[in-house]
Amino acid sequence: MTDPVYLDHAATTPLRPQAREAMLDVLSRRWGNPSSVHRWGREARAALEDARARFAALIGAEPAEIVFTRGGTEADNLAVLGRARAVAGPLACSAIEHRAVLAAARAAGSDRLRIVPVDENGVVDADALAGVLREGTPALVSVMWASNEVGAVQPVEHVAGLCAEAGAAFHSDAVQALGKVPVRVDRVRVDLLSFSAHKLGGPRGAGVLFARRGTRLHPLLFGGGQERGLRPGTEDVASAVAFTVAAELAEAEREQAMARAAALRDRLEAGLCERIPGLRINAAATQRLPTISNLSVPGADPEMLLMALDLEGIAASSGSACSSGAVEPSHVLLAMGLPAELAGPSVRFSLGRDTTQQEIDRVLEIFPRVVERVRT
Ligand code: PLP
């Protein structure tokens, strides 16, 4: 039996050894409560504040603008719902946002939600957004930095400009973008930015919300005053430190790693297009994350496709990881205007830092066979 091939790194990617070491170090040596005044507390506090300063430096922020959360979902919820509770007005979200954004916006009241359409490549329609902004200043505009499903990188600089002109706060979900494309808040005028550790080799259940100084936001949880009152609860210092270590490594390796991933992704797509009639590469005609390949396989049963791949030892995903298990076509592909016959049978391969050419070649050998089987 050959080794299994894991191509679902956008769902989660293995913990980096350096992040694990950093975590263990905090858990075993600096385990105090950062709010305690004694030396155990002070040591934990120092580790947490060091992580905060380093994370801030990585994205061009100030340490006071970094809020450690328990994951990307929580960062998104805090940005969207926290903003909605602090400021009146509509919430304008792109149609391809992660459910952590869309569901949070709906929870604020569906009458407040304005969906901004995307084009056939999954890129937000800036003219439509400008139209929404002319109707009245939203409490928040939310356009993700890069799509978790198709990888399309969004025109965040342009969106930031439109929002600044209109006086609207701009939130971007950068969960899939950090470590893959440059993400800097000193270059792009974004007010709120969400991150998640486990997408780049940090632990699950760790996230960050960047909240630019002066951005009005209400907390979603209540308790102590930790994280400037925005995320009360005793801080998970080990996760915050490990996230920072992983993010620093991902950023340091970014250019080389992405060039490598792009070459492998291109090999995968070219090879599969040659071997599978009717295969469609989604979001092909726009800038994409080099790590994501989203393919529509007309005529194939989506669930059987993934199950057959799994039986062959290949891990991929259909739609976003959080919604797999649900049979309805991806809201992202539907928003891109794909008919149900293309949006339904879609597969997302996502590459990681250790993905090899041998693994890609194995997919090239197996996937066409699997497609043939589930098409008949
Ligand atoms: N936003 C995007 C774009 C994601 O891909 C994910 C993870 O699937 C999340 C938010 C949620 O992050 P977490 O798993 O840390 O809650």
Residue pLDDT, tens place only, 149-178: 999 999 999 999 999 999 999 999 999 999
Q: How confident is the model at residue 318 (pLDDT cuts 50, 70, 90)?
A: confident
Residues 236 and 310 in one domain: no
* Model pLDDT, residue 302: 83
Residues 273 and 242 in one domain: no
- pLDDT one-digit tens code per residue, 265-281: 999 999 999 999 999 99
Provide the strand spans (E) within 304-359. Answer: 314-315, 346-350
CATH number at residue 104: 3.40.640.10
Percent of the chain with pLDDT over 70: 97
Q: Give the ligand 1 atom nearest the CA of 204.
A: 15
Q: Which residue has the tokens 């805090």?
A: 78
Residues 315 and 258 in one domain: yes
pLDDT beyond 70 at 32: yes
Mean pLDDT of 131-135: 96
pLDDT beyond 50 at 230: yes
Of 149, 196, 208, 236, best ligand 1 pocket probe by most atoms within 8 Å of the beta carbon: 196
Domain count, the chain: 2
* Model pLDDT, residue 337: 98
Q: Specify the higher pLDDT residue, 79 or 324.
A: 79
Residues 287 and 146 in one domain: no
Domain boundary (199, 221, 249) is at 249
* Model pLDDT, residue 243: 99
| SS3 at position 217 | coil
Q: To the nearest whole number, what is the mean pLDDT of the chain? A: 96
Distance 277 CA to ligand 1 centre (A): 33
Residues 206 and 272 in one domain: no
Residue 175 beta carbon below 6 angstroms from any ligand 1 atom: yes
Residues 275 and 218 in one domain: no
Question: Which tokens in the block code for residue 143?
Answer: 């356009």
Residues 146 and 29 in one domain: yes
Q: Which residues face 280 on adjacent strands?
A: 296
> CA 201 to CA 257: how far, in whole Å?
13
Phi-psi region of 218 (alpha: psi -120 to 50; beta: other; left: phi over 0): beta
* Model pLDDT, residue 327: 66
Residues 125 and 24 in one domain: yes
Residues 243 and 280 in one domain: no
The answer to whether 204 and 12 have CB atoms below 8 angstroms apart is yes
Domain boundary (192, 223, 249) is at 249
pLDDT beyond 80 at 319: no
Residue 111 amino acid letter: D
* Model pLDDT, residue 322: 46
> CA 153 to CA 124: how far, in whole Å?
10
* Model pLDDT, residue 375: 87
Pairing of strands 140-142, 170-173: parallel
Of 69, 294, 322, 332, best ligand 1 pocket probe by most atoms within 8 Å of the beta carbon: 322
For residue 235, what are the CA distances in angstroms to 74, 100, 310?
Answer: 14, 22, 38
Q: Give the ligand 1 atom nearest the CA of 10.
A: 5
* Model pLDDT, residue 328: 81
| SS3 at position 237 | helix
Mean pLDDT of 33-59: 98
Distance 151 CA to ligand 1 centre (A): 13
Distance 256 CA to ligand 1 centre (A): 24
* Model pLDDT, residue 321: 44
Residue 176 beta carbon below 6 angstroms from any ligand 1 atom: yes
Question: Which tokens in the block code for residue 301?
Answer: 């049963």
* Model pLDDT, residue 320: 44
Provide the strand spans (E) within 102-223. Answer: 113-116, 140-142, 170-173, 192-196, 207-211
Phi-psi region of 71 (alpha: psi -120 to 50; beta: other; left: phi over 0): left
Q: Which residue has the tokens 């070491």?
A: 21
Residues 151 and 298 in one domain: no
User: What would the DSSP string read from start to end of 19-38?
Assistant: HHHHHHHHHHH--S-TT-SS
Query: CB neighbours (10 Å) of residue 259?
Result: 10
Distance 9 CA to ligand 1 centre (A): 12
Q: How confident is the model at residue 79 (pLDDT cuts 50, 70, 90)?
A: very high
Residues 222 and 359 in one domain: no
Residue 229 amino acid letter: G
CATH number at residue 345: 3.90.1150.10
Catalytic residue list contains 322: yes
Residue 72 beta carbon below 6 angstroms from any ligand 1 atom: yes
Domain boundary (249, 264, 298) is at 249
Residues 287 and 211 in one domain: no
Q: Which domain holds residue 21?
A: 17-249
Q: Specify the higher pLDDT residue, 87 or 306.
A: 87
End-to-end CA distance of the chain: 26
Q: How confident is the model at residue 1 (pLDDT cuts 50, 70, 90)?
A: low
